[in-house]
Structure formats: C-alpha cells, structure tokens
Amino acid sequence: MSISSTAISYYSLNYVENAERDFTEMLEHGCTTVILAVSEFEFDFWRPNIPKIVNAAHKLGLKVLLDPWGIGKYFGGEQVSLFLQNNIENRQVSALTGEKLPAACFNTNSFRDYFQRFCLSLAKETDADGFFWDEPHYAFPKSYASITGGAGDDWACRCPVCMKKFQDYYGYEMPKIMTDDVKQFRWREALFILSDTSRKLKEMKPELEITCCVHATLNTYYVTELRGYDNWDLVASCPYFDVFSTTIISWELPGSFFENITKRTVDVARKYGKQSERWLMNYYKQPADFKQMDEVVDLYERLGVDRLAAWTFKGGYGTVLAAPDALKLWDRLGKNYKRVLKIK
Ligand SMILES: [Zn+2]
C-alpha cells in the first residue's frame, strides 16, 4: 500500500501569473494535485481566467480538481453565496421553528439547476481532471453541537419543497421530529443532487474523476450529526464517485479518533471499490508538537489510505484562519508529502 496522491486546496482565483508562482511552490512541497476552490463570485467574475489557471497547473505537472467551494452554503467553506444573495426562496427551513435558514435547499429544482449549471459549465470550459464534493450538508438550525451529547434536536430541511416530496412519497405530512422515514428521506434526497450531477459530468467527459468528501463523524448513538451524508455505505456505493474521502479532524482530538475514522474510511472505500482519501488540517490550528503530523501521516499510510489531502496552501497564511505558524506548518506538510511519495 502506498500514497498515490498528495493534494492541497487553493483559493483566490484571479491572475494566472499569481497562480503559476503558487503552483511552483506546491510542487516544491511535494503536492501532486491542486484542488481549486471556485467560489460563486469567481465563477461569476473571474470566469475567463479559470480555464487558464487550470492549464497553468497542468503545464507544471499538477492534477486539477474543482471544488464548488461553499456553494449555496451547501458545501463547506467561508465564501459568501451569490445564490443566497439573489434568491429569497429555496432555502432550508428549521423543522422546529419554521424559520428560513441562510443555506440553499439542495432538494429544490432551483438550487439543483444552479449547482448543475455551475459544474457543467466549468467541466465544459476547462480541462480540469475532476470535481471535489466538499463537505455537502444539511444546515444545522442551531450553531452548536456537543461532543458529549451530539447535535441539538432541531434539524433541516422542512421547506415546502421537501415537505411536498415527503408527503408524495410516504403519504403523510413530514414530521417535525427526526423519525426513521425522515432520515431515509434526507439521505436519499441529499445523494440525488451529487449523484445526478456526477452522472451528467461523466456523460459529458467520461474521464472526469469525482471525489465525495463527507464529514468525519462517528455517527453512533451518542455522536451523530445527521448532515445527510452520514450513511457512508450509501455515499460510497454511488456508482459515479471514484474516491471516498472524509474530512479534516482537529489536531486536538485523540489518536484513537484518527484511527477509528481512518479505518472506517478505508473499509467503506474498499467495500465499494473506491479509492480512499484522508485529510490533514493545514490551517487555523496546528499540532502542539509538529511531530504529530508525521505520526498521523504514518497512521494514514499504515492503515492503507490511498490519497492524502490538506486544507490549505501556505497554512492559510494571511487569512483569519491562518495557523499560528502557518508557513512552518506548510513546510512540515511539504516534508511529509515528499516523504510518503519518496521524493528527495
Ligand atoms: Zn428543503
């Protein structure tokens, strides 16, 4: 078993010349792949340069995946959403209070069309190698979750579209509490937008590679987030996904948590004939002792992970989410990437 891919995310797509310089630095840090975080604003404003940036990465020898970053606040990420700015409907709704939430409902045709057009346009206009589905999720109506008690009782989405779909399928009104029917409904509908878009992308370009990256949660009785993609078997069995990936774990969590998540990620990926991917936190927080990164990389390799990825370029240097020693953290990542790829 060996690591075949080392990816780094990259944002602020604007001038090709800037991107070229940064891509060179990624190569010096042992990266094989760049994940371009394409925001709705960049798609809307910097569109002519996106294909050129993809070409520049290719010319230097990097593989390129596109991440519709934070789109509709449906994917993870800090970016703002034009969809939410330009649409006052098609939002997720709190089950308990009935309030609209600042997140697009991805079970509505409106957002599904928007998302699909975004991805299909990028596939058509660029020579990117694939797409990265980045932490898709139902919104949390409450902004907190407890590590000892799980998330709060409220959930989303109980918007008119979801309620009608539920009523049509089950023959009764969608409950306000999270029953088994509600869980099944949410899983099924959540997977549809990604499955359908992935299928259409592959119909257009069969060589496109799709990674689906879901939250790295335990999903047991005590701690489950119910974000809609927590049934890993269901997600990994989707025939249009090539890579099953689970997200970043905070450096502060115990080693047993890293081991548990990684084993389950590899097992589920293998069960469905997919490659497995694990992430490294390369922004915001850093390990108390940088040796922890080496140990986690060793753990990932030993447990049979196929691909590594890290968020983000330069340790988030210059952003509000920079690690305290951002550039040192980035250098440590580079050393680890080169080590597992056996590059001197
Ligand atoms: Zn909805």
pLDDT in tens, 263-303: 999 999 999 999 999 999 999 999 999 999 999 999 999 99
**From ligand 1's centre to the CA of 216, what distance in Å?**
24
What local confidence, expressed as pLDDT, does residue 154 receive? 86
The whole-number average pLDDT for the span 247-253 is: 95
Residue holding tokens 């330009």? 86
Does any domain span residue 155? no
**From ligand 1's centre to the CA of 94, what distance in Å?**
9
**From ligand 1's centre to the CA of 137, what distance in Å?**
12
**From ligand 1's centre to the CA of 100, what distance in Å?**
10
DSSP 144: -
Does any domain span residue 160? no
Give the percent of the chain with pLDDT over 70: 95
How many Å apart are CA 191 and CA 25, to the nearest integer?
A: 36
What local confidence, expressed as pLDDT, does residue 108 receive? 98
**From ligand 1's centre to the CA of 171, what distance in Å?**
17
Determine how many CB atoms are found less than 10 A away from the CB of residue 4: 13
Does any domain span residue 262? yes
Give the percent of the chain with pLDDT over 90: 90
What local confidence, expressed as pLDDT, does residue 150 receive? 52
What local confidence, expressed as pLDDT, does residue 342 receive? 83
**From ligand 1's centre to the CA of 164, what distance in Å?**
9
pLDDT tens-digit profile of 116-164? Answer: 999 999 999 999 999 999 999 999 876 555 555 555 678 999 999 999 9
Instruction: Reply yes or no on whether the pLDDT at 242 is more than 80.
Output: yes
What local confidence, expressed as pLDDT, does residue 224 receive? 73
User: At 263, which CATH number?
Assistant: 3.20.20.80
Q: Residues with Cβ < 8 Å from 134, sequence gap 6 or more?
A: 37, 67, 68, 69, 75, 76, 77, 213
Does any domain span residue 320? yes
What local confidence, expressed as pLDDT, does residue 151 receive? 54
**From ligand 1's centre to the CA of 180, what distance in Å?**
17
Average pLDDT, the chain: 95
The whole-number average pLDDT for the span 82-103 is: 96
Alpha-helix runs per DSSP H in the chain: 16-28, 40-45, 49-60, 82-86, 109-125, 160-170, 180-204, 232-236, 255-271, 291-302, 326-341
**From ligand 1's centre to the CA of 64, what distance in Å?**
32
Does any domain span residue 169? no
How many Å apart are CA 243 and CA 67, to the nearest integer?
A: 14
What total number of domains does the chain contain?
1
Least confident window among 37-41, 137-141, 188-192, 308-312: 137-141
Does any domain span residue 152? no
**From ligand 1's centre to the CA of 198, what distance in Å?**
21
Please give the residue range of the domain that contains residue 68.
Answer: 5-88+108-138+187-341
Does any domain span residue 207? yes
Does any domain span residue 132? yes
